[in-house]
Amino acid sequence: MTRTDEELMRDIAEGSRAALTELYRRYERPVYGFALRMVRDSQAAEEIVQDVFTRIWKARDSFNPSSASLRTWMLTIAKRIAIDYIRSRQRRGTLALDSEEKTYDVPDRAALPDEMASHADTSRQIRQALDSLPSDQRIPIERMYYEGLTQQEIAEILSVPIGTVKSRIRLGMEKLRRQLTSVEMEETL
């Protein structure tokens, strides 16, 4: 019988390596996929996955994902680690700060197994929502969220006042919020 996330976390808290292994197998793909989306480097993405599960294992006694789902909680950890990595890479000057658009390897959808389909739908909805924003709103949101840039850094890169950055981000987030609300309403109908 498949154990729930809560049951797995309870076993992990008691030191069960088998439970952590099961948790890993359940979430390695999304955590790796997200990490790769952030850092666009497969070795770095693997290290981020390793860090995520190491932190879970080391902090197993104090695990408390509060109200967030376990998946969201793990992705949030992955994001923080990835941001640290990106910032250190920026400090080393290996990431161009002025690149407006980025590309990374996109898998062949036809080769993906069926279980990825539902995630692919979610991902597509989010991507569509982000792409629907005017670029002057989307770019600062993405660079802040996925690259860890501060509002001041974005203002400098885009050569606009910080107040402009704030207002563009505020407008963009408001639109995303409305779209998220409409997606949730569609799903409940």
- Give the residues lining the site for other proteins (CB under 8 A): 17-18, 20-21, 24-25, 28-30, 32-34, 36-37, 42-43, 46-47, 49-50, 53-54, 57, 68, 72, 75-76, 79-80, 83, 85, 88, 105-107, 111-112, 116, 119-120, 122-123, 126-127, 130, 141, 144-145, 148-152, 154, 166, 169-170, 173, 176-177, 180
Query: Among residues 143, 5, 13, 146, which one has the least CA distance to residue 68?
Result: 5
Min CB(29)–other proteins separation in Å: 5
Give me the count of residues in the chain: 189
Q: Which is nearer to other proteins, 10 or 166 (CB)?
A: 166
Q: Which is nearer to other proteins, 94 or 159 (CB)?
A: 94
Residues 132 and 175: beta-carbon distance below 8 Å: yes
Query: Among residues 141, 3, 9, which one has the least CA distance to residue 69?
Result: 9
Query: Among residues 70, 88, 78, which one has the least CA distance to residue 146?
Result: 78
Min CB(6)–other proteins separation in Å: 19
Query: Among residues 175, 101, 107, 103, which one has the least CA distance to residue 137?
Result: 175
